[in-house]
Amino acid sequence: MPLDFNAFNGPYAELCRNFIEYKRSIGYTYGKRQVYAVKYLCDYLSEYSPGATGLSQNIVEGYIYRKPHESASSQSKRIYIIRHFGLYIASLGYKAYLPPYDSVKKDKTFVPYIYTKEEIKRIIKAAEDPANRYTAPNSHLVQPLMIKILFGCGLRISEALALKVGDVNLEEGILHIRQAKYNNSRLVPMPPNLAGDCLDYYKKTGHHAGRGGFFFEIKPGTQYSKSSFYNRFRSFLKQAGIAHGGRGKGPRLHDARHSRLCAGSNGKTRHGYLLRLANPCRIHGAPHYRKHRKIR
């Protein structure tokens, strides 16, 4: 359930609400996750800064302080929120200390897991296994097709789950990804056999383009849960004989995206093209894609 703006309290409540509206007005999604993050900031400021006087260095550093057992990624998200909030209120005339971008030293040693062709086949086979069908409608159709789309097109799981019926061009075999990471939209071509699988799924599930619903629906108007699908994926890995190293160690569902890019580039000239296709405005951070096992 979306967070009600009335839930914002304290001297910074109006500024926080206006900040969210401002970010949305310039093209940022600012959905449930971001709204809750701003609410957390609002509550913190209400407790430690009783008057809406701006952001002092002590207040900011207290907010971004890394908690015990907290990951660098979680800390960096708080830094991002308070930095952008600070820029917003500074534009309104408030004084605001801005934490530097390099406040968090991220782990640069991460190497994605690259699935082999045989591993991908075994994962798809596990997803197609009737024994893995569960109570969600059409799960026996959704699970294998979702796996094929992630590995075949290099989509993020959030992008695949957010696809609307109208975003899947079954005639031309094109997926329209709308307002994804960094608020980018893009067109992604499907391999011919995958386009055929999507058409078959479309016919069997009785979708109607005019309804405007999600392509993968758990019920009318409701998309499948990301966490639920991830849990199913872990069971597919186990059935496929692929060991999982535990939380944060993978192999991860997102590694299907890395695998698609590496499989298409094979370390050669198409590498840059595929990266632009996958995320056209963000290719400067791509070298880690080259650190992969040879695809067999």
Residue 257 near residue 156 (C-beta atoms within 8 A): yes
Q: Is residue 24 part of a domain?
A: yes
Q: In the listed set 103, 128, 163, which residue is the last one of a domain according to the structure? A: 103
In single-letter form, the type of residue at position 211 comes to R
H/E element, 55? strand 54-55
Q: How many domains would you assign to the chain?
A: 2
How many Cβ atoms are within 10 Å of 74's Cβ, its own excluded? 12
Query: Are residue 217 and residue 96 in the same domain, yes or no?
Result: no
Beta-bridge partners for 177 = 186
pLDDT on residue 168: 92
Could you say which residues of the chain have pLDDT below 70?
1-4, 103-110, 182-183, 207-212, 248, 263-296
pLDDT on residue 271: 38
Q: Is residue 108 part of a domain?
A: no
pLDDT on residue 110: 67
Domain enclosing residue 64, as ranges: 5-103
Q: In the listed set 68, 103, 138, which residue is the last one of a domain according to the structure? A: 103
| φ and ψ of 218, to 5 deg | -90, -25
Exposure string over 192-207, b if 16+ CB within 10 A, otherwise e: eebbebbeebbeebeb
Can you give the pTM of this predicted structure?
A: 0.66
Query: Are residue 83 and residue 121 in the same domain, yes or no?
Result: no
Q: Is residue 63 part of a domain?
A: yes
Query: Are residue 31 and residue 56 in the same domain, yes or no?
Result: yes
Q: Is residue 48 part of a domain?
A: yes
- The CATH number given to whatever domain includes residue 232 is 1.10.443.10
What are 243-252's pLDDT values in tens digits? 988 776 779 8
pLDDT on residue 200: 92
Q: Is residue 110 part of a domain?
A: no
Query: Are residue 24 and residue 170 in the same domain, yes or no?
Result: no
pLDDT on residue 121: 93
pLDDT on residue 293: 43
Identify the residue whose tokens are 């071509």.
189
